[in-house]
Amino acid sequence: MARSVERNGSSAVKRSAARPSGTSPVHRDNHNVIQRKRHEEMTIYQLTDRLHGRTVCVQADHIAATVASWLAELDAWSPFVELLGRAVRDGDWPAIHAIADYLSVEVQVAA
Domain edges within the chain = 35-111
Helix 80-90 × helix 63-73 angle, to 10°: 160
- Could you read off the pLDDT tens digit of each residue along the chain, which spans 111 residues? 444 444 555 545 444 445 455 555 555 555 555 555 555 458 999 999 999 999 999 999 999 999 999 999 999 999 999 999 999 999 999 999 999 999 999 999 997
The shares of helix, strand and coil residues in the chain, as percent rounded to the nearest 5, are 50, 25, 25
Alpha-carbon separation of residue 39 from 45, 59, 76, 98, 111 (angstroms): 12, 10, 31, 22, 15
Q: Is-contact 48 63, C-beta < 8 A?
A: no
pTM of the model as a whole: 0.64
Look at residue 4 in the predicted model and tell me its pLDDT.
45
